[in-house]
């Protein structure tokens, strides 16, 4: 028995050592370069050669022998000296099994590969193997189910997008999520997933459907979300008349599509019933001797949008001090405020709001007013509540802000009641507010008034939005995209595509500070490097330092006529350590999916180094403890900026906050990472100030 087993082993061993060499279209398959030394890497490389030619049955014994000698898949496996290869025998064995339709064996091999070292190619084929197994066995008889955890089915907000969160499950595998008919495929199908998707919102009602799909294209029942977006504060049509010597009667109406939640006059709250329309008839005390010489109305709807107005009093009333009349006359102008004793411009607590002033009561001509918002004004905000007031002696037909109408759409009985009140209060102005999204740099804001006769009056100003220094793209980790090495080619200029499109993908996501591609290409020409030197990681790191890059992205391309695998590495130019390694895989026409594939690679790096903010817990010498940890995807070696928020920028005329700038204090490197906090070391100080508790940190 022993001799029989020994003889069988010898025969199998010989069968593995001596294999058939095939030739097809002038290329040999089943032959490795150099002498076959019967080592694990020889069997693996010969198996790859068989796979390349489609000789799957011949490849399987070689991969099995390689696994027997070295079982774990890994990148940069050392063969001898300083020679390394990417070693994935389990993955390639699984692909060979898949191609001979042994799907169960393929699944086992691919799962073993992913357990040792996850790659996009293994995930791609594991999805395919599981799909074919399910089709053959017909075991998948149910569709996925989903649970949306946020938002609720009916939800109101004033934001510009919403993050949908939930969970999807399937008795086998969820392969993709679908948001409004747009699929978001999973790289690897799972039985249960938690999902998050940022969905843009338009003004008004947004209907969002969420579904899950499994590997056999079965879809869950749709979950429908109704998201109402209201970025407009309440509309106010109010006027004030003096009653006696120490009080004013405020009358008129308020309207908001989402319902009036709060109303106050000079800080005194008025009872609200959350109705869309509210008629106002309030007696407000005035005490000029105490300096309370203004009527400020602050309103808020059920979503949190606010409108603030300063109510003009009837101009024919006697007994008001000249200073008060000048207060009214000043409202909405751009002149400097005269230093009248005891008279100040009303302030608004909301830091992201610039309030509007009422024109003087009884004005004889139409006008539009901004308060505190001047041509060329700089704000440190990404969104802004623009508040304004408009008046026309002919009556107001509509008001628009950047083309969006307040009065033009059809509304209900509540709105009709408000329009009636607006018509009756001919001496009053219409006060309004709207939240607008600001782009970095100049932003044009145009308010247009259309009166009852159809005449138009408009006023346009430009506001400049500036991002605080610590949050600017230029303050983030500086990267350069290095040329990728093409290990296998398909006849296409793939290396050039990768550098060009990957650079664009990194720039477009605005996560890192990406140096211009032309700068690197110019430096490569100046250095006159050989082809071997260009793809040397040490040389790449040196060039990165010359460009003042903190990291470089470089990698490899393995392409065929019908597929491409791209492996990217982020290398720290200071330490030469690999910070992250990500890959993508695509099958099909290369040009058809190339941009999306490279955008996916850039996204993987962004997810590895998420942009997140936290606070310093304490600081001692060169160590800083801050409240971001492994639950925020923090990993060793990640860089952070420590910064301090400066005092808010205050408009000198209005007292309004225009945002808060930041002062960068230093650079930290993550050292000890726990679930909810991290201990970092200070690698650079920038402001000559010590980092202290309550200072902020942001991912670099």
Domains and CATH numbers, the chain: 2-137 (1.25.40.10), 145-229 (2.60.40.10), 235-466 (2.60.40.650), 477-605 (3.40.50.10070), 613-699 (2.40.10.410)
What's the confidence (pLDDT) of residue 364?
59
d(CA 543, CA 548): 9
Rg (CA), the chain: 34
pTM: 0.84
For residues 471 and 698, is the Cβ–Cβ distance under 8 A?
Answer: yes
d(CA 497, CA 482): 12
- DSSP β-bridge partners for residue 689: none
Tokens of 69: 């000698």
What is the DSSP code string of 142-195?
A: S--EEEEEES-SEEEE--SEEEEEEEEEEEEEEEEEEETTEEEEEEEEEEEEEE
d(CA 41, CA 63): 10
d(CA 241, CA 4): 114
Q: Provide the sign of the torsion angle of the four alpha carbons 266, 271, 274, 280, taken in this order.
A: negative
Residues of the chain with pLDDT under 70: 1-17, 244-245, 287-293, 312-364, 372, 489-492, 652-655
What's the confidence (pLDDT) of residue 692?
95
C-alpha distances out from residue 269 to 53, 259, 296, 297, 644, Å: 81, 16, 12, 10, 37
d(CA 30, CA 38): 14
What's the confidence (pLDDT) of residue 295?
84
What's the confidence (pLDDT) of residue 654?
58
d(CA 527, CA 519): 12
Tokens of 478: 């500086």
Three-state secondary-structure class, residue 118:
coil
Burial 146-155 (b: 16+ CB within 10 A, else e): bebeebeeee
Q: Pick the closest to residue 226 from 245, 208, 253 (CA basis).
A: 208
Tokens of 207: 């209907």
Tokens of 514: 């990406």
Three-state secondary-structure class, residue 245:
coil
d(CA 148, CA 166): 4
Residue 498 CB contacts under 8 Å (≥ 6 apart), including other chains: 484, 557, 566, 598
Question: How far apart are the two ends of the chain, measured CA to CA in Å?
Answer: 67
Q: Provide the sign of the torsion angle of the four alpha carbons 98, 74, 117, 112, taken in this order.
A: positive
C-alpha distances out from residue 518 to 316, 480, 494, 554, 572, Å: 70, 10, 18, 16, 21
Three-state secondary-structure class, residue 308:
strand
Largest CA distance in the chain: 124
What is the DSSP code string of 97-116?
A: HHHTT-HHHHHHHHHHHHHH
Tokens of 649: 């920028």
What's the confidence (pLDDT) of residue 491?
66
Residue 200: CB atoms within 10 Å:
9
Q: Which long-range contacts (CB under 8 A, 24 or more apart) does 272-275 make?
A: 274/302, 275/414
Please, what is the angle between helix 537-546 and helix 517-527, to 10°? 110
d(CA 39, CA 43): 7
Q: What share of the chain is helix, strand, coil (3-state, %, to 5)?
A: 25, 40, 35
């Amino acid at each position: 028995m022993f001799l029989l087993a020994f003889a069988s082993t010898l025969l199998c061993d010989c069968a593995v050592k001596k294999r058939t060499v095939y030739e097809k279209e002038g290329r040999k398959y089943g032959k490795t370069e150099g002498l076959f030394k019967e080592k694990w890497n020889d069997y693996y490389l010969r198996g790859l050669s068989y796979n390349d030619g489609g000789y799957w049955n011949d490849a399987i014994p070689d991969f099995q022998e390689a696994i027997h000698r070295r079982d774990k898949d890994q990148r940069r496996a050392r063969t001898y000296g300083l020679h390394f290869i990417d070693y994935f025998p389990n993955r390639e064995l699984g692909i060979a099994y898949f191609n001979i339709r042994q799907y169960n064996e393929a699944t086992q091999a691919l799962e073993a590969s992913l357990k040792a070292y996850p790659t996009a190619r293994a995930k791609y084929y594991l999805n395919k193997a599981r799909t074919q197994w399910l089709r053959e066995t017909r075991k998948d008889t149910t569709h996925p189910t989903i649970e949306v955890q946020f938002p609720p089915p009916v939800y109101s907000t004033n934001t510009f997008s919403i993050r949908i969160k939930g969970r999807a499950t399937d008795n086998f595998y969820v392969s993709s999520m679908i948001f409004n008919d747009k699929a978001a495929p999973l790289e690897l199908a799972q039985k249960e997933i938690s999902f998050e998707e940022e969905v843009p919102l338009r003004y008004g009602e947004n209907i969002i459907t969420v579904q899950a799909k499994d590997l056999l294209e079965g879809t869950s029942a749709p979950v429908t979300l109704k998201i109402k977006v209201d970025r407009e504060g309440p509309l106010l049509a109010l006027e004030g008349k003096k009653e006696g010597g120490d009080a004013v009667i405020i009358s008129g109406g308020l309207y908001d599509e989402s319902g009036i939640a709060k109303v106050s006059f000079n800080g005194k709250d008025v009872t609200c019933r959350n109705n869309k329309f509210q008629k106002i008839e309030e007696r407000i005390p005035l005490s000029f001797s105490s300096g309370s010489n203004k009527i400020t109305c602050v309103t808020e709807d059920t979503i949190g949008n606010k409108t603030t107005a300063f109510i003009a009093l009837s101009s024919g009333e006697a007994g008001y001090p000249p200073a008060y009349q000048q207060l009214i006359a000043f409202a909405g102008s751009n002149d400097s405020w005269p230093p009248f004793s005891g008279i100040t411009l009303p302030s608004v607590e909301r830091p992201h709001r610039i309030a509007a002033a009422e024109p003087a009561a009884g004005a004889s001509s139409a006008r539009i007013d901004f308060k505190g918002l001047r041509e060329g004004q700089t704000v440190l905000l990404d969104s802004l509540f623009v508040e304004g007031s408009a008046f026309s002696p002919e009556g107001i037909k509509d008001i628009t802000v950047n083309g969006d109408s307040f009065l033009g759409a059809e509304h209900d009985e509540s709105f009709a009641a408000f329009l009636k009140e607006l018509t009756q209060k001919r001496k009053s102005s219409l006060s309004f507010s709207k939240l607008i999204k600001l782009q970095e740099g100049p932003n044009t804001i145009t308010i247009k008034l259309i009166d009852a006769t159809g005449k138009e009056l408009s006023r346009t100003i430009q506001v400049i939005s500036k991002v605080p220094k610590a949050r600017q793209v230029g303050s983030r980790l500086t990267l350069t995209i290095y040329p990728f090495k093409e290990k296998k080619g398909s006849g296409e200029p793939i290396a050039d595509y990768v550098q060009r499109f990957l650079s664009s993908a990194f720039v477009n996501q605005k996560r890192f500070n990406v140096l211009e591609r032309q700068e690197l290409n110019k430096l490569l020409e100046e250095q006159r490097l050989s082809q071997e030197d260009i793809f040397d990681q040490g040389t790449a790191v040196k060039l990165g330092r010359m460009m003042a890059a903190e990291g470089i992205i470089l990698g490899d391309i393995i392409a065929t006529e019908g597929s491409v695998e791209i492996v990217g590495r982020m290398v720290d130019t200071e330490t030469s350590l690999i910070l992250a390694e990500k890959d993508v895989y695509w099958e099909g026409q290369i040009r058809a999916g190339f941009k999306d594939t490279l955008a996916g690679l850039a996204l993987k790096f962004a997810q590895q180094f998420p942009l997140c903010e936290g606070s310093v817990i304490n600081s001692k010498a060169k160590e800083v403890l801050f409240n971001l940890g492994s639950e925020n995807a923090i990993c060793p070696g990640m860089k952070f900026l420590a910064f301090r928020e400066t005092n808010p920028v205050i408009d000198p005329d209005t007292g309004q906050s225009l945002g808060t700038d930041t002062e960068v204090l230093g650079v930290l490197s993550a050292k000890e990472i726990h679930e909810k906090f991290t201990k970092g070391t200070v690698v650079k100080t920038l402001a000559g100030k010590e980092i202290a508790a309550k200072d902020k940190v942001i991912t670099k």
